[in-house]
Structure 1
């Protein structure tokens, strides 16, 4: 791995909501951890309706037609290709209706020929998958909707 590519990865992590990137390629392991600065409070979880956590939206492809304010939308931290499984012949990492835990890998995004694991930031029930496997996605695009454990 060359230094320009490492610089690109550091920049990618800095510009995204990814907290950690762990990459092994050709026997070389690189781990980039973004630490919260003392000046900036942690970003709140995005909720249904974009940046305003009080405004629900109903732009779902799967699941119930309307969300509740407690639903959390997991957005793409970067531009790339969205994959629901770890490999083409494997089942999706998460399915609608499944209980997921904070930190659980829920999808993979391929960016710059690098596969980046995306983990859930909160525990709950997966209510909807909002992107199609293999789709090119934009940074900030809604990927999943997670409801509180009592949601269905």
Structure 2
């Protein structure tokens, strides 16, 4: 399982509302648990021990047990939405400064070329423009959090 596969799994879990997922094969064992806003991830081959970063171990030990997940209601069909993805690795910002208004909010109309966020990479602030026209349906990333290349940022309903 590649790092990108693991990232996609984490993204799926964060969007689905599940609090815990365990996957085990003959070669790999993955346990993903969500506690509050953080999500410690531990992935290790089943046959060989792997050192885990002390911060992850402390976070996993200090976190309370996850409550039993209630049945999840079926989600609305999102197949007609277009995803605006991150073109780079960096830190996601919804506004130009803490005092400035957000570039977009849920329900706002966007057109091609409208700035929807900023991603800071190596002290350079890159304005990310929408490549589609539509209405912002969901913002998938919290302000001032790290993002990966090709990570979904916004869901847009095309006009």
Aligned pairs for 1:42-121 (under 5 A) are: 59=15, 65-121=75-131
Which is greater in Rg?
Answer: 2
Q: 1:83 to 1:130 in 2, by over 3 A?
A: same
Cα displacement string for residues 49-75 of structure 1 (whole angstroms, at most 9, x for unaligned residues): x8xxxxxxx9268xx943432210111
Counterpart residue number, 2:42: none
Structure 2 segments unaligned to the other structure (5+ residues): 1-7, 9-13, 18-73
User: RMSD between aligned alpha carbons?
Assistant: 2.4
Return the TM-score normalized by structure 2: 0.53
Asked if structure 2 preserves the Cα contact closer than 8 Å seen for 1:60 and 1:130, the reply is: no
Which residue of 136, 141, 146 corresponds with 1:126?
Answer: 136
CA shift, 1:140, in A, is: 1.2
- Give TM-score, length-normalised by structure 1: 0.55
1:31-46 pair list within 5 angstroms: none
Q: Measure, in 2, the Cα distance between the counterparts of 1:96 and 1:107.
A: 13
Q: If each structure's helix is expressed as a fraction of its own residues, which one has the higher value?
A: 2
Aligned residues: 92
Q: CA 1:144 to 1:115, structure 2 compared with 1: closer, same or farther past 3 Å?
A: same
Separation of aligned partners in 2, 1:59 and 1:83:
20
Q: Secondary structure at the match of 1:59?
A: helix
C-alpha deviations, 1:88-133, integer Å up to 9, x for none?
1111100100111111000000001100000000000000000000
